[in-house]
Chain A
């Protein structure tokens, strides 16, 4: 069951990663003209990603919280015994950043509520960029930890 949930957690993280990266690119590096792939990638209606990104963030977070105890027992204990401190540290940083990011979601929703509101432009860029970096870091760190010692690995 834990492995199944871990896979769902990973798939949701992929969806979140895609949506948030689209939104971040669109707001930080808006397309001036429609042309090639990079312009088309940035020429999305960024505000439309907001609710989906919040939903995926919360769902991925909750699933991660559900499968955390098996990780704590089966994986982290092994990582500590193996003295792989930097791997353990990667995960520690991930959990702290994600928790702080979770509480930023209402503000993230607020700054995207009216994307034409110029008074929030700077906050919109920063908030989206911070969440995007948190999610990218967490995705990579989670992958590394899983590759070092997957759940139930022997």
Chain B
């Protein structure tokens, strides 16, 4: 099996899973920078800011690895479209512009 055949799929699934994880609070873990504590899932504040970025990246990577691994056997007989590797991430980056519009329209 050629792992490189799913690199485009990996990028696409990560972009989607990361965006969903952040937006729907499906982070694998949260980090409390003031106390240096980690906690599973979406955590409430413990008297300081809570960081969800690391956890959302972890969710994205786990989802991307799982889907890529599951798709690997199918790449023996067929190729995945190359546009998956750039068009889906690009679309997600544009979606983020929409999701974050509140910062710029206040």
Please determine whether chains A and B interact with each other in the same assembly. Answer: yes
* Residues of chain A having any CB pair with chain B under 8 Å: 65, 68-70, 72-73, 76-77, 85-86, 88-90, 92-93, 95-97, 99-104, 106-107, 109-111, 113, 119-120, 122-123, 126-127, 130, 134
Q: Which residues from chain A contact B96 at a C-beta distance below 8 Å? A: 93, 96-97, 100
Q: With A69-B51, A72-B33, A107-B7 in contact, is A100–B85 under 8 Å at CB?
A: no
B49 interface neighbour in A77, A89, A90, A123, Cβ under 8 Å: A77
Q: Which residues from chain B contact A107 at a C-beta distance below 8 Å? A: 7-8, 10-11, 85-86
Q: Is the CB of A73 within 8 A of B100?
A: no
Q: Is the CB of B60 within 8 A of A97?
A: no
Complex: A93 Cα to B18 Cα, angstroms: 13
Q: Is the CB of A103 within 8 A of B100?
A: no
Closest residue of B by beta carbon distance from A113: B4
Number of interface residues of B (CB under 8 A): 39
Starting from the known contacts A65-B54, A100-B89, 20 additional A-B residue pairs (CB-CB under 8 Å) come to A68-B51, A86-B104, A89-B100, A92-B100, A92-B103, A93-B96, A93-B97, A95-B53, A96-B96, A99-B18, A99-B56, A100-B93, A103-B10, A104-B86, A106-B4, A107-B86, A111-B82, A130-B89, A130-B90, A134-B93
Q: Which residues from chain B contact A123 at a C-beta distance below 8 Å? A: 8, 82-83, 85-86
Q: Say how far A76's CB is from chain B's closest CB, in angstroms.
A: 7
Complex: A92 Cα to B7 Cα, angstroms: 26
Q: Can you give 8 A-B contacts (C-beta < 8 A)?
A: A85-B106, A89-B102, A99-B18, A99-B57, A100-B93, A123-B8, A126-B87, A130-B86
Complex: A72 Cα to B102 Cα, angstroms: 19
* Residues of chain B having any CB pair with chain A under 8 Å: 4, 7-8, 10-11, 14-15, 18-19, 22, 31, 33-34, 48-49, 51, 53-54, 56-57, 60-61, 64, 82-83, 85-87, 89-90, 92-93, 96-97, 100, 102-104, 106
Q: Say how far B24's CB is from chain A's closest CB, in angstroms.
A: 15
Q: Which residues from chain A contact B31 at a C-beta distance below 8 Å? A: 69
Tell me if B's interface is mostly helix, strand, loop or mixed.
Answer: helix
Closest residue of B by beta carbon distance from A129: B86
Complex: A121 Cα to B82 Cα, angstroms: 10
